Chains A and B, each alone.
Chain A
Amino acid sequence: MREKIIRGKCWVASGYVMAYDMVVQKYWTDPVDKQLNSRYIMSGVAPEFEADNAFKNAGYTFIVAGHNFAGGGKSIEHVVTGLMGAGIKAVFADSFSRLQFRNATNYGLPFITVKDLVSICQTGDELEYDMQANTVKNLRTGQVKETAPLAPFVLEIAEAGGLVEFIKRKIADGTAHLLR
């Protein structure tokens, strides 16, 4: 069963979060692996995430960010696998870098456009994301924001373990042409 409602703690970005800082340069040639990449995810974003597993151990479920999340023109997939390995279930932002939006979708991590969620959230707040109602609620304050709709195939890709596996199954069972 797919979760329709996710609850958890959020980390709120205080400014522009670049892919370059989410995974710093010395790790770019590492294998793409959720466990491995989650060890150093976000290590260049804030001093408190510099230590090994620091972001993962903080136990966040959501990221709330502003404009062009994970931007900077870097296409490395470690950014997405690192977040997934660290337990992130969805990222909300005003906008996303196109490259990382595609990566996230191709791994099945929802990158959801929400206008100005940053203004009603603080790091550590409990949020509730309802992916059927397309809303996100701050459980501390009770404030609610509407999110962009999530395409069902994003979760199917996650269940399949990524786009390649997802499409491979569709090809094998002869349903790839039905995708729309």
Chain B
Amino acid sequence: MAGMTITEKIMAYNSGRDKVKPGELVWADVYSVMTMDYLGQSTFKTLHELGKTEVFDRQRVICVSDHLVPPPTPAFATMLNQWRQLVRQHHIKYFYDLGRQGIAHQVMVENGHVLPGKISIGTDSHANTYGAVGAVGNAVSVTDAAVAMAIGKCWFRVPESVKFYVTGRWQPYVMAKDLSLHIMGMMHWNGHLIYKALEFAGPAIEALDIAGRMTLCNMTVDLGAKNGIVAPDQKTVEYLRPVQKDNWEMIASDPDAQYEAIYEIDITNLGPTVALPDKLDDVVPIEKVVGRKFNKAFVGTCTNGRVEDIAIVAQILRGKQVHPEVNFILVPASQQVYLEAVKAGYIADLIEAGVAVDTPSCASCAGIHTGVAGDGDIILSAGNRNMKGRMGSKNAQIYLTSPAVVAASALTGVITDPRLL
């Protein structure tokens, strides 16, 4: 009998099975369920419709305020107040509200609510991020989340697995984001990765820190995949040790596991990569767009708002000045990230260089607040989506790229290759 991939093993072990096959539907135990400010109310409402007044485990239902904080309008402020009341009413142990907030996916991983070999779900599309520590992370609807909050279970279709085996050495200033965008260009968002489990392995993946693995797994949802995953290793052990909420065991794909496809990518020649406005998979090497003008720069989001991302921005900007015609906003992914960046001196570097640093939230990536786009804006963003209107005005253009490219370009006012600074 053929072996199983890591995703199949996680699906099997958490649904009381020895073995699962792609295509099979299973009810599996979920380790943690995340919901956040703007969908949380509906989730709790559905929980009540199920006849429940309590969640299955108040330590494993995680509530986060991230999309609406700090509230820019009285309507949002009121919504947040109603949300807080609901969270308190259910005695949720881990509530990351304004003051202790962060983007939900960052908060879930950095606080050890996601563990290798287990399944965690959330009511936001980028829950795929959890695969960075060897979990199956999945976005679900309000109804599915409410069911999981009630009974600790969710149904899943076992996905076919596709492996990306990545070799070669990372060039300076080339980041996990460049690989994400490169794969997007190679496979297309509406390509055959839809509903697949994407497994990232090989020396170049082992070389990535957890932050880079989070970026990579985060954007698998934008490839249409069900989940993205990196098997846990010593880096995972060290990352989780101080924060994990439970014990866990090492897990990996069997050597004879079946994949629908295996792609080998050598990143030796991979340089900074850019997605052109409006389409995620309209991806080019930076050389094709060097010199193009833009007027706004943005670094943040669950894709690239971590301290490692801020570090590279600070390193590039240190002692220099952002171009006078560029407005640069940086939003750390969580209060914890923010604090680390302050202590490391990065925030001082950024402010001295002329960057506006704002309080952790989803910010303009949700198109709601903190530097939304206006008509005619051309934005160079380290976020995850570039569809028309994503950051505000439909008459704005969004280029997606890495934090290193955003920083290097912010100095010159035109798209610039950070390797050539």
Contact = CB atoms under 8 A, between A and B. Distances in A.
A154 B190 contact: no
Contacts of A113: 23
Interface stretch (B63-71, B82-90, B150-158, B325-333): B150-158
Nearest to B24: A149
Q: Which of A99, A101, A163, A177 has the most CB of B within 10 A?
A: A163
B155 A95 contact: no
Contact of A154 (B15, B25, B26): B25
Contacts of B28: 180
Interface string B135-148: 00000110110110
B155 A105 contact: yes
Contact of A167 (B25, B150, B190, B195): B150
Interface in B41-69: 46, 49-52
Interface string A132-160: 00000000000000001101011000000
Contacts of A62: none
B52 A68 contact: no
Interface residues of B, number: 31
B157 A180 contact: no
Interface of A is mostly: helix
A90 to B, nearest CB: 15
Contact of A171 (B17, B23, B50, B190): B50
B394 to A, nearest CB: 15
A98 B143 contact: no
A164 interface: yes
Interface size class of A (residues with CB under 8 A): 20 to 34
Contacts of B146: 164
B143 A163 contact: yes
Contacts of B190: 68, 71
Nearest to B225: A98
B259 interface: no
B112 interface: no
A102 interface: yes
A98 B151 contact: no
Nearest to A162: B143
A152 B409 CA distance: 55
A122 interface: no
Contacts, number: 79
A148 B20 CA distance: 13
B181 to A, nearest CB: 18
Interface in A26-66: none
A168 B47 CA distance: 10
Nearest to B15: A180
A151 B25 CA distance: 6
A60 B16 CA distance: 39
Given A113-B23, A148-B23, A168-B51, A153 B151 contact: no
Contacts of B151: 167, 170-171, 176-177, 179
Contacts of A129: none
A97 interface: yes
A154 B157 CA distance: 12
Interface string A82-106: 0000000000000111110111011
Contacts of A163: 143-144, 147
Given A153-B155, A163-B147, A97 B50 contact: no
B146 to A, nearest CB: 8
Contacts of A75: 141
A67 interface: yes
Contacts of A179: 27, 151, 153, 155
A164 B151 CA distance: 12
Contacts of B52: 171
A172 interface: yes
Nearest to A178: B27
B195 A95 contact: yes
Interface in A6-34: none
Given A105-B25, A148-B23, A179-B155, 18 more contacts: A68-B190, A68-B224, A71-B194, A75-B141, A95-B192, A95-B195, A102-B140, A102-B141, A105-B155, A106-B143, A106-B144, A154-B25, A164-B50, A164-B143, A164-B147, A168-B50, A176-B150, A176-B151
Closest 7 CB pairs of A and B: A151-B25, A179-B27, A148-B23, A176-B151, A180-B16, A180-B27, A167-B147
